């Protein structure tokens, strides 16, 4: 990382979220509201609760860091989403559709429209690439174009 990447003013200018009013508290509020729905979803809840167990607080903090890194370029998230998802016992195309449906509705509830649109655009892009990664790790292609 060169010095200019750590300059908060420069980062704020370049980060995609800055232009549409994304903030740190907004990232955290979206994460909290989204995973509250995920945890009680009949399909997604068991997948998440099985993997996360009683580690929800750490997961929520990590996901707030993730979105802050994606949209505000803070670099706080250092993990590997592909490896985490490839290791799940289940993450089918229908699960991704449900994940995205919950994410879209939560973003619309929590964020002003331009910020919601950006969160959703990035989530759709990352979901596509995770699905390709999962399919590749299983040695198959997705059953339909994503």
In the complex, which residues of this chain contact ligand HEM (CB under 6 A)?
44, 47-48, 51-52, 62-63, 66, 79-81, 84-85, 88, 91, 95-96, 99, 123, 126-127, 130
For ligand HEM, the nearest residue by Cβ is: 79
Shortest Å, Cβ 81 to ligand HEM: 4
Q: How far is the CB of 54 from ligand HEM (least distance, A)?
A: 12
Min dist. Cβ of residue 135 to ligand HEM (A): 13
State the Cα–Cα distance between residues 53 and 46, nearest whole angstrom.
10
Q: Where are the alpha helices (DSSP H) in 19-112?
A: 24-40, 44-52, 56-72, 81-86, 93-110
Contact 50, 90 (CB under 8 A): no
Nearer to ligand HEM, 81 or 112 (CB): 81
Q: What is the dihedral of CA 88, 93, 95, 100, to 10 degrees?
A: 120
- Which residue's CB is nearer to ligand HEM, number 11 or number 128? 128
CB 91 within 8 A of CB 47: yes
């Amino acid at each position: 990382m060169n010095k200019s990447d750590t300059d908060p003013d420069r980062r704020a200018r370049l980060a995609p979220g800055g232009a549409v009013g994304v903030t740190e508290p907004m990232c955290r509020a979206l994460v909290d509201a989204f995973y509250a729905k995920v945890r009680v979803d009949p399909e997604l809840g068991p997948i998440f609760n099985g993997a996360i167990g009683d580690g929800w607080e750490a997961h929520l903090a990590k996901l707030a860091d993730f979105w802050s890194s994606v949209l505000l370029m803070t670099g706080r998230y250092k993990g590997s989403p592909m490896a985490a998802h490839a290791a799940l016992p289940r993450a089918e195309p229908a699960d991704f559709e449900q994940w995205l449906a919950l994410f879209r509705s939560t973003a619309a509830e929590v964020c002003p429209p331009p910020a919601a649109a950006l969160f959703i655009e990035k989530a759709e892009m990352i979901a596509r690439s995770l699905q390709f990664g999962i399919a590749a790790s299983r040695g198959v292609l997705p059953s339909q174009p994503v």
